[in-house]
Amino acid sequence: MKTVNLKFVGVNSKFVPNIYVDNKYVKCKINEFGSYEVNIQTEKDEIEIAFTRELELKSKLWWLYALISFIVSIFGIFEPPYDRKCISIDCLFKIKLKEENNIKIKFNTMTTTGRAVEIETENNFEEIKNEYNIDKIAKRRWIILLVVKLVCWIALAILIGYEISRFIK
């Protein structure tokens, strides 16, 4: 049985990626320093580690969820903001294993140029993908949502102004 100790450093609290090891979602624990850690037991000689970020605006029913949360949050007043940059992460690594494996993964700042993560390990690994990218579909939907919210606020202001003017007469 081989032990893999994964440690993730530099993860932004607003940008927590989904972590998959051999196509299985891995739930990480936060240690006292704010880093994420997980220990994995496997019989394989090689594992595949992938990082993704699922944006809410990328889902099928994004418009329904956005509409319901806009209304429930009193026309967006208490609604948490969407990520306006719409940055997603796309990383895939294959790592050769020994008996005891310590892998430290450092997340870089979110820019679309350069590498998304840096790996510190004594193991041999193959980097297949390692990048941040702007999700164009989510970005377009964010703009649409922003325009719709502005139109709703303007319509609400006009309606309130009309009702106040009727009340004053």
Kindly list the distances between the CA atom of residue 109 and the CA atoms of 15, 16, 106, 112, 128, in Å, as whole numbers in the listed order. Answer: 11, 13, 10, 9, 20
pLDDT at 147: 94
Lateral strand order in the sheet of 117-120: 29-30, 36-42, 2-9, 100-107, 117-120
pLDDT tens profile 103-117: 999 988 887 788 889
pLDDT at 155: 94
State the chain's mean pLDDT as an integer. 88
pTM of the predicted model, to two decimals? Answer: 0.77
Handedness of CA 34, 85, 87, 80 (dihedral sign): positive
pLDDT tens profile 64-88: 988 898 888 888 888 888 778 888 8
